[in-house]
Structure 1
Amino acid sequence: MADRHVIDTREEYLEAVDAIAAGHGPVAVDAERASGYRYSQRAYLIQVFRRGAGIFLFDPPAIGSFDELQAVIRDEEWVLHAASQDLACLREVGLSPTHIFDTELGGRLLGLARVGLGAVVEELLGIHLAKEHSAADWSTRPLPESWLEYAALDVELLVDVRDTMDEMLVESGKKQIAEQEFDAEVQKPERAPRHEPWRRLSGLHSVRGARNLAVARSLWEARDALARELDTAPGRLVPDTSLVAAVKAEPKTSSQLASLRAFSGRASRTEIDRWWAAIEEGRTTTDLPVLRPQTDTLPPPRSWSERNPEADLRLKAARAALTTVAEELGMPVENLLTPETLRRVAWEPPAELDAASIRSALEALGARPWQLEITSEPIATAFVEAHNTPPVEESPES
């Protein structure tokens, strides 16, 4: 096992940048966060590999600006695995690609049974890649040697995987499809902050009444503020289930809250005054949340047969048609067209159910050119057939 070390000084970082600039070919990039441990989603380790240069493990908090590395590799092809998971934290430190090759997405398009990095490396290169540190706390310092070896392997084989996968994409006629998907990943806009993030509180659906929702909101906001201040994952302070339990128990005093067994977590008692103040704020506020906020979210498909029977028929027919197409192409149906896109065009189709109109509707929803070419006709045909399907009549009671 090679001795790995983390580059945490500007001097060594600049030397590494020069070495990477002298290398050749695509640049493999990966990042490790501390999800589940820290509040932020920042990168705590960035790994880079380039042929002719080697492997480099960077400590982002210690290095600070990555402008020099960005200038060197900006216009090169970056090889990432599941790019959508890493692009945000890479951009946070100034690393942003213009062209990528995503080996996870490529594996999906090729119809590989498993697309995790370890599985892809094993299937394409015949090398077993252990993944035992994927959920580690990468903010730990110093990082254990075994973790560093794991991190290095994440990028060391990526370019080899990319080359093998590129050949497979060409042979299967999916090269252009992959390029469109990779470009779409790079161009995807950053997700806008949620309007009411507290509504993502797990178990909130069991809370009844606007006043209790206000208490839940207040508790969530108090926990979020403390988690942000301490840079700790909120659930490590007090889990969602405990916040919901406190709301439903309706304690009369802080002592009753403290004695509630279901109210657990490492900060549940040490910050009891904070939680009680939040409960009192929720109980007295005049700014009550609405019970069901208006959103553009579609109802779950299981309710369509009652709420919109025609849309239900369209969706089922189109799903079946696209499943057949996806099987013929050897890729998951969700990569052929996202389920959300199909649901939206089924719920509110264009006035004319011809391929051209369906194509325009799909394009407006963000479908890529290759998806428009392959899916417009099958969806249009499925919609027409669904409209011609007579409604199911209930048999009279005997």
Structure 2
Amino acid sequence: MTDRSVINTEDAYLDAITQIQNGHGPIAVDAERASGYRYSQRAYLIQIFRRDAGVFLFDPPAIGRFDALNEAIRDEEWIIHAASQDLACLREVGLDPTRVFDTELASRLLGLHRVGLGSVVEELLGIHLAKEHSAADWSTRPLPESWLEYAALDVELLVDVRDKLAEMLVAAGKERMAAQEFEATRLRQPKLVRQDPWRRLSGLSGVRGARNLAVARELWTARDSLARERDVAPGRLVPDASLVAVVKAQPRSSAALAALRDFKGRASRTDLSVWWNAIERGLGTDDLPPLRPAASDTLPPARAWSERNPEADARLKAARAALTLVAESISVPLENVLTPETLRRVAWIPPEPLTAEMVGNALRELGAREWQIEATAQTIVDAFVEGNQTASELQKSES
């Protein structure tokens, strides 16, 4: 198949599976969503390329489940750029790989300065890949021909990129490192839905009082329900800033709400009763939210450590400096050598006794890969010892 037509019938789907099976080598996979336009994060286009088979553009809403395709290709290596972004929507339709080569991750591990697909393609293949449709509304039907061409190129070049990156990983002695990162990405579990998601409202920090927070909660909940029902991104119905403006203005009637100039959005007036009912629920409820979120295992921001836990602050600063040198020595970004959250957790409450083995165990429990433990455990121990000494000296000087 060499044209850019979209596969949206059962017969075309089954024929594509046969053609893909008759190809050879790894399989490039990509998915396009409608983030910012739709409530869901479902795939609205799935692209596949395999050598000697060609490019295939599938319409997930029309096809539904992809179990037959998954059965045919699941044990092959799948090439995905930034796999963590696409795996969830692929799995939602039944596509679940057993092996992944993540070209974005490989580019990071090799120290490439720019790791977006367009930049990687240009650097490794010398081909300029236009990315003007990356933020398009892929739920649009029919999809414009220029969008389909863009989508096809996203996978058509991925196999060549993968081959170049694989050679570079071997030359740099990083193939084991990459394999561990790819597998960790494939196995990573989705993040748990946070408690009180309405507290993510942008600008909520400027809202005072439990009653006003209750109104904000009800407005957010109403918007979320409406957005889910219509499969529209919540911010396209009413922006966060408009909801917060309503809370602060405290309108006392639906007419006053309608007259509020800062209350904007496509659904602000057409669904006025939805918002007014939410305000009334917030004003009348006895279930007032606490002024601050319930306690969790979230660590305080690093900027507060010097006052709340000066010893941990000294350990963290010493370890960051030491790991920066490690990152530079192996040409891997610091955040890929060890995630900031992992380092913060070990620095806040270090293991006892403070040995490389114990630090390694703590890192492993937090999800660090073996190559990361080998590269960082002893360095962290040495840095923590230095940090403890610095904190002790500061305490002496202050006393």
The TM-score with structure 1 as length reference comes to 0.97
Residue 84 (str. 1) matches residue 84 (str. 2): yes
Partner of 1:341: 342
Partner of 2:236: 236
Assess, with a 3 A threshold, how the Cα gap between structure 1 residues 395 and 381 changes in structure 2: closer, same or farther: closer
Helix, strand or coil for the counterpart of 1:101? Answer: strand
Partner of 2:363: 362
List aligned pairs for 1:312-351, cutoff 5 A: 312-351=313-352
Q: C-alpha separation between the residues in 2 aligned to 1:296 and 1:157?
A: 43
Cα displacement string for residues 235-268 of structure 1 (whole angstroms, at most 9, x for unaligned residues): 0000000001100111111111111111100110
- The letter of the residue matching 1:294 is A
Higher mean displacement: 323-332 or 247-256: 247-256
Helix, strand or coil for the counterpart of 2:265? Answer: coil
Partner of 2:183: 183
Helix, strand or coil for the counterpart of 2:15? Answer: helix
Partner of 1:109: 109
Partner of 1:18: 18
Helix, strand or coil for the counterpart of 1:388? Answer: helix
Assess, with a 3 A threshold, how the Cα gap between structure 1 residues 262 and 395 changes in structure 2: closer, same or farther: farther
Residue 95 (str. 1) matches residue 95 (str. 2): yes
Residue 246 (str. 1) matches residue 208 (str. 2): no
Assess, with a 3 A threshold, how the Cα gap between structure 1 residues 258 and 336 changes in structure 2: closer, same or farther: same
Cα displacement string for residues 179-198 of structure 1 (whole angstroms, at most 9, x for unaligned residues): 00000011111222222211
List aligned pairs for 1:20-169, cutoff 5 A: 20-169=20-169
- The letter of the residue matching 2:372 is Q
- The letter of the residue matching 1:327 is E
- The letter of the residue matching 1:355 is A
Partner of 1:382: 383
How far apart are residue 333 of structure 1 and its match?
Answer: 0.3
How far apart are residue 232 of structure 1 and its match?
Answer: 0.5
Q: C-alpha separation between the residues in 1 aligned to 2:380 and 2:209?
A: 42
Q: C-alpha separation between the residues in 2 aligned to 1:314 and 1:291?
A: 32
How far apart are residue 392 of structure 1 and its match?
Answer: 3.4
- The letter of the residue matching 2:110 is L
Partner of 2:222: 222
Partner of 1:392: 394
Helix, strand or coil for the counterpart of 2:134? Answer: coil
How far apart are residue 234 of structure 1 and its match?
Answer: 0.5
How far apart are residue 395 of structure 1 and its match?
Answer: 9.0
- Percentage of pairs with the same residue: 70
Q: C-alpha separation between the residues in 1 aligned to 2:149 and 2:5?
A: 9
Q: C-alpha separation between the residues in 1 aligned to 2:35 and 2:217?
A: 23
What's the C-alpha RMSD, in Å, of the aligned pairs? 1.2
- The letter of the residue matching 1:35 is S
Cα displacement string for residues 153-205 of structure 1 (whole angstroms, at most 9, x for unaligned residues): 00000000000000000000100000000000111112222222111111111
- The letter of the residue matching 1:330 is S
Helix, strand or coil for the counterpart of 2:226? Answer: helix
Number of corresponding residues = 395
Q: C-alpha separation between the residues in 1 aligned to 2:11 and 2:355?
A: 62
Q: C-alpha separation between the residues in 2 aligned to 1:211 and 1:344?
A: 35
Cα displacement string for residues 10-50 of structure 1 (whole angstroms, at most 9, x for unaligned residues): 10010000000011000000000000001110000000000
Q: C-alpha separation between the residues in 2 aligned to 1:3 and 1:179?
A: 34
Q: C-alpha separation between the residues in 1 aligned to 2:232 and 2:358?
A: 49
Assess, with a 3 A threshold, how the Cα gap between structure 1 residues 352 and 394 changes in structure 2: closer, same or farther: closer
Q: C-alpha separation between the residues in 1 aligned to 2:397 and 2:169?
A: 52
- The letter of the residue matching 2:137 is D
Helix, strand or coil for the counterpart of 1:212? Answer: helix
Higher mean displacement: 181-190 or 191-200: 191-200
- The letter of the residue matching 1:131 is K
- The letter of the residue matching 2:194 is R
- The letter of the residue matching 1:173 is G
Partner of 2:287: 287
Partner of 2:374: 373
How far apart are residue 123 of structure 1 and its match?
Answer: 0.5
Cα displacement string for residues 354-395 of structure 1 (whole angstroms, at most 9, x for unaligned residues): 211111111111111111111000000000011112443799
How far apart are residue 351 of structure 1 and its match?
Answer: 2.1
Q: C-alpha separation between the residues in 1 aligned to 2:393 and 2:327?
A: 28
Q: C-alpha separation between the residues in 2 aligned to 1:156 and 1:69?
A: 19
How far apart are residue 118 of structure 1 and its match?
Answer: 0.2
Partner of 1:271: 271
Q: C-alpha separation between the residues in 2 aligned to 1:33 and 1:387?
A: 48
- The letter of the residue matching 2:166 is D
Helix, strand or coil for the counterpart of 1:30? Answer: strand
Q: C-alpha separation between the residues in 2 aligned to 1:29 and 1:395?
A: 60
- The letter of the residue matching 1:301 is A
Q: C-alpha separation between the residues in 2 aligned to 1:187 and 1:360?
A: 20
Higher mean displacement: 104-113 or 206-215: 206-215
Helix, strand or coil for the counterpart of 1:100? Answer: strand
Runs of 4+ in 1 over 6 A off after TM superposition: 393-396
Q: C-alpha separation between the residues in 2 aligned to 1:395 and 1:90?
A: 58
How far apart are residue 3 of structure 1 and its match?
Answer: 4.1
The TM-score with structure 2 as length reference comes to 0.97
Assess, with a 3 A threshold, how the Cα gap between structure 1 residues 24 and 58 changes in structure 2: closer, same or farther: same
Helix, strand or coil for the counterpart of 1:28? Answer: strand
Helix, strand or coil for the counterpart of 1:306? Answer: helix
Cα displacement string for residues 134-167 of structure 1 (whole angstroms, at most 9, x for unaligned residues): 0000000000000000000000000000000000
Q: C-alpha separation between the residues in 1 aligned to 2:241 and 2:393?
A: 44
